[in-house]
Amino acid sequence: MANLGYAQAAVSTAFRAVAYVFLEVIPHSAAKYVLSVLYVAYLVLYSLQPPPALEPTTKEEHSNGEAKVPFPTEDTTKELVETKTESEDSKPLPSIPTPAEESSSLTALLLSLPTPSRPLRLANLFINTLLAAAALEFITYPYFDDAAGVVYTRVGAVYPDAAKIVVRYPGLVGFNQTNATVQLAWRQVPKSGAVESDVWKDGPSALLSEELDWVNTVKLSSLWPSTTYEYTLRDANKTQLPYPSSPIRFRTFPDPYLNSGVNFRFLASSCIVPNFPYTPLQGRTIKGFDLLADYLWPKNTPGKFTMPPPSTSTPTPAETESADESAAGTSALDQPEPTAAPVFSVNAQTVEPVASKAPTEFMIFMGDFIYADVPIYYGDDKEAYRRLYRRNYQSPSFRKVYERLPFIHTYDDHEIINNYAGHSNDSSPPFANANDAFALYNAQGNYDSSQQGEHYYDFRHGDVAFFVMDTRRHRSIIEETDEPSRTMLGEQQLTALYDWLGRVNNTATFKFIVSSVPFTGLWTYEGEYETWNGFQYEKASLLNALHTVPNVILLSGDRHEFAAIEFPSANPARTVYEISTSPLSMFYIPLIRTLKKQSEDVINRTKEVVNVLEDGTTETVIVTEEVPQEKVLKYIADGNYKWSSIEVDTRDRQNPVANIDIIIDGKNAYSLTIRGEPVKLSPSMALGAYVPQSFKGVLGKIGLNPSSWF
């Protein structure tokens, strides 16, 4: 029986260790099977254990069970009297467990060691059952809370003269009806102190249907560049709907043809799973978004920027005046943020503070917005995928960010299935149903692709250009394709990327390229086939092209770690940088490091060195040096909650700057300044640059919309 007890202890300890890893470290899908087997084995062993033995009695008993009382003698009587006297003189203190006994009990509780104590055995059973219940809640939560009734709206792609608005509003139809209509009402938000005279205007209508899960995306057009707007929702009878309780605000992007320079921030990260690391009964919480909201809009604490409280009333369409902007619900677009931490300057090799209050205007989510296969694969059908998207939009953590900040997306493997490679075969399951959900909830709110139905796209914010890749749909299956023939992007997307590089080379200052997976080949575990490292020919060709374009910065995610990488070229001014940041709210692996410091391959780079001669004159010498083809600037693996806050400032044409703050667990962990190369941009072709602002207003009053001209 002793061996049985130790077998039970071993199984119990293994169960607890696996449960801890599954709930707090990494929610690997295989854990559900291991936990089930271990818990059942523990229960079987527990039931086979004999009950704790009763303590033996020290009293002699009759055959009928009554204690035998010896006949009193003179000696025993004297002994009883003496014992009674001693007990009356000094009463003994109650017994207290010794440290050894306490340690023994604690060890038995922690390691489930065999113990004769019935309370300890029951406590062990209770602990293991709680852990099993926690794992079960974490796994099955989306089934019991499918978020079918979630109502939300958000801003997606923003243009100089338009914005895409995503709406989900079930519950507006009667019995047996399968569609409904929601109309946008919008207006321009006046600047502080101005008087608003425009009524709410009728915007586009979104047709919602049960077939499309009551979700639709519309485009609000005829807007002015660099202007703040707000919108609310009405039903088909133009009656104000209860949601949103306050109008949703956004700011249009600046006119890209004015060439006046910009100063703004945007965010980038990837990978979220609600309630991980696990906390009981918090299935809707996404802590990374809670931290992000606190970062963007700090609470009213001393030493931090404070903002006015949001508006609690929703203006009706009949209202003709807006509340002052400083008293209304204030978005991230209208508010400065805390001063950034000191930064490390790449080119100058100095440490300097950067005081920045540029507004955060949007977030690029770089994939793994849902985990269709973690902790379990929920099935290859539309509802299984849609449920996970609804669950995220239902989260109060996410809601307080997406209602105030535009989001644009790309996807990675976990929106489909782990390590997915599409090989340009859309008919191969599970792509079709996974793509349906991604398109419905996220992609339709993105910028339009140059090819209908594709998920790669480009856009601009002033003189800053972006290209967002699709690294999954057209990726070759490595096991089935020879290295020279492999492609990450597919011929059509690669052509679009090269075309974009040619267009923005001299028309944009900074160029950001978004890849859901890292471009660098320095990551080891799975990096050989999951990152660009498995596509060496295409990567080398693309990198050569990037080195001919000034001020290229790659953004990536996927690895659940942070790394800043540089890719030097023969021209020191044409270094390409990669900022890889994830997860926003997911696991990381403690103690294990998977990134090499630099590549073994080197390149020859020339640079000018100024020498001072003995006579005081100087001479310039061209020196050739070998440098790694890829090199780590900074690597931080730890942290469940990571994102990049990137500030771009191109107002000084000769000194464009990108300031990058890496926020981990809500705190600034690393800062990097990338000083760009001056770019002589093409002359402005915007009609708006030559039309007085007052004249634009006159044209608008007579029904003309000059904003559509540029």
pLDDT in tens, 108-161: 787 777 778 888 889 999 999 999 999 999 999 999 999 999 999 999 999 999
Q: Is 685 exposed, middle or buried (0-12, 13-18, 19+ CB in 10 A)?
A: exposed
Q: Helices (H), strands (E): how many in the chain?
A: 13, 24
Work out the pLDDT band at 685, boundaries 50, 70, 90: very low
The CB density around residue 161, as the number of other CB atoms within 10 Å, is 21
One domain, residues 370 and 238: no
CA–CA separation, 708 vs 223, rounded Å? 8
Ranges 51-55, 471-475, 558-562: which has the least confidence: 51-55
Does residue 622 fall inside a structural domain?
Answer: no
Task: Specify whether the backbone of 176 is left (phi greater than 0), alpha (psi in -120 to 50) or beta.
Answer: left
Residues 6+ apart with CB under 8 A from 99: none
Per-residue pLDDT, 334: 46
Neighbour-count burial of 8, counting CB atoms closer than 10 A to its CB (0-12 exposed, 13-18 middle, 19+ buried): buried
User: Which is nearest to 21 in space by CA: 115, 117, 131?
Assistant: 131
For residue 96, give the amino acid letter. I
Average pLDDT, whole number, for the chain?
84
CB atoms closer than 10 angstroms to residue 265: 24
CB 277 within 8 A of CB 249: no
Structural domain contains residue 616 = no
User: In the structure, what pLDDT confidence band is assigned to residue 451 with cuts at 50, 70 and 90?
Assistant: very high
H or E stretch covering 292: helix 287-296
Percentage of residues of the chain with pLDDT beyond 70: 79
Asked whether residue 82 is assigned to any structural domain, the reply reads: no
Helix (H) or strand (E) holding 417: none
Q: Per the domain annotation, does 68 fall within a domain?
A: no
Q: What is the CATH number of the domain that holds 211?
A: 2.60.40
Alpha-carbon distance values, 557 to 16, 395, 410, 510, 644 (Å)? 31, 22, 11, 20, 10
Q: Which of 246-255, 451-460, 611-620 has the lowest mean pLDDT?
A: 611-620
Domain that holds residue 300: 255-305+329-603+631-679
Question: Could you give the 3-state DSSP secondary structure of residue 185?
Answer: strand
| Residue 347, domain CATH | 3.60.21.70
DSSP β-bridge partners for residue 208 = 180
Signed CA dihedral, 299, 333, 441, 513: sign only: negative
Residue 59 lies in a domain: no
Task: Read off the pLDDT band of 323 (50, 70, 90).
Answer: very low
CA distance readout (Å), 46 to 9, 13, 124: 9, 13, 10
Q: Do 398 and 469 reside in the same domain of the chain? A: yes
| Residue range 375-430, pLDDT digits in tens | 999 889 999 999 999 999 999 999 999 999 999 999 999 999 999 999 999 999 99
Question: How far is C-alpha 580 from the chain's CA centre?
Answer: 12
pLDDT in tens, 457-487: 999 999 999 999 999 999 999 999 999 999 9
The answer to whether residue 693 is domain-embedded is no
Distance CA 268, CA 61 (A): 81
Q: Give the mean pLDDT of 419-447.
A: 97
The 10s digit of each residue's pLDDT in 209-222 is 999 999 999 999 99
Whether 190 and 118 map to the same domain: the answer is no
Tens of pLDDT along 598-621?
999 999 887 778 888 888 888 888
For residue 86, give every residue at least 6 positions away whose Cβ sits within 8 Å of its Cβ, in sequence order, or none.
none
Q: Residue 678's pLDDT is what?
A: 94
Could you give the maximum distance between any two Cα atoms of the chain, in Å? Answer: 127
Same domain, 125 and 246: no
Does one domain contain both 419 and 271? yes
pLDDT of residue 4: 83
- Reported as a pLDDT band with limits 50, 70 and 90, residue 16 is very high
Q: Is the pLDDT of residue 339 over 50?
A: no
Name the residue type at position 397.
S
pLDDT at residue 101 is higher than 50: no
For 459-517, the three-class secondary structure string (H helix, E strand, C coil) is EEECCEEEEECCCCCCCCCHHHCCHHHCCCCCHHHHHHHHHHHHHHCCCCCEEEEEECC
pLDDT at 641: 98
Closest to 270 (Cα-Cα) out of 25, 635, 515:
515
The domain total for the chain is 3
**Pair (248, 261) in one structural domain:** no
pLDDT reported for residue 195: 57
C-alpha pair distances (Å), 187 with each of 207, 229, 316, 631, 705 = 21, 6, 12, 49, 15
User: Same domain, yes or no, for 289 and 171?
Assistant: no
CA 391 to chain CA centroid, Å, is 15
Query: What is the structure's pLDDT at 412?
Result: 98
Confidence (pLDDT) at 439: 98
Torsion-angle region of 280 (φ positive above 0: left; ψ -120 to 50: alpha; else: beta): beta
Based on the domain organization, do 125 and 229 belong to the same domain? no
DSSP-derived pairing of the beta strands 343-345 and 667-675:
parallel
Lowest mean pLDDT, pick from 149-158, 350-359, 585-594, 628-637: 350-359
pLDDT of residue 66: 52
- The token pair that represents 5 in the structure block: 């007890």
Is residue 697 a part of any domain in this protein?
no
415 and 282 share one domain: yes
Q: What sign has the CA pseudo-torsion 92, 93, 99, 103?
A: positive
Same domain, yes or no: 395 and 537 = yes
Assess whether pLDDT exceeds 50 at residue 309.
Answer: no
Together in a domain, 247 and 270: no
d(CA 292, CA 338): 13
pLDDT of residue 74: 55
User: Would the pLDDT of 662 be above 60?
Assistant: yes
Residue with tokens 């990374």: 288
Looking at residues 83-105, what average pLDDT do you find?
52
Among 207, 229, 252, identify where a domain stops: 252
Phi then psi for residue 436, to 5 deg, are -55, -45
What CA–CA distance (Å, rounded) separates 176 from 537? Answer: 56
**Confidence check: pLDDT of 205 > 70:** yes
198 pLDDT band, cuts 50/70/90, is low
Task: Summarize the confidence of residues 586-609 as an average pLDDT.
Answer: 90
User: What pLDDT, on a 0 to 100 scale, did the predictor assign at position 197?
Assistant: 55
Confidence of residue 314 (pLDDT cuts 50, 70, 90): very low
Q: Which of 196, 158, 625, 588 is nearest to 406 (CA)?
A: 158
Whole-prediction pTM: 0.83
Find out whether 646 and 662 touch, Cβ atoms under 8 Å: no
> Could you give phi then psi for residue 365, rounded to 5 degrees?
-95, 120
Task: Say what angle helices 431-441 and 382-394 make with each other, to 10 degrees.
Answer: 30
In whole angstroms, what is the distance from residue 16 CA to residue 80 CA?
54
Q: Is residue 689 part of a domain?
A: no
**Residue 554 bridge partners (DSSP):** 513, 578
Look at residues 209, 228, 252 and tell me which one is the last residue of a structural domain: 252
Write out the two tokens for 284: 């809707």
- Nearest-angstrom CA–CA distance, 87 and 460: 93
Euclidean distance between CA atoms 59 and 230, whole angstroms: 88
| pLDDT recorded at residue 403 | 98
Kindly indicate the confidence band of residue 72, based on its pLDDT and cuts at 50, 70 and 90. Answer: low
Instruction: Tell me the pLDDT band of 705, cut-offs 50, 70 and 90.
Output: very low
**Claim to verify: residue 133 and residue 206 sit in the same structural domain:** no
Q: What are the Cα distances from residue 424, in Å, to 367, 412, 487, 493, 496?
A: 19, 15, 10, 11, 16
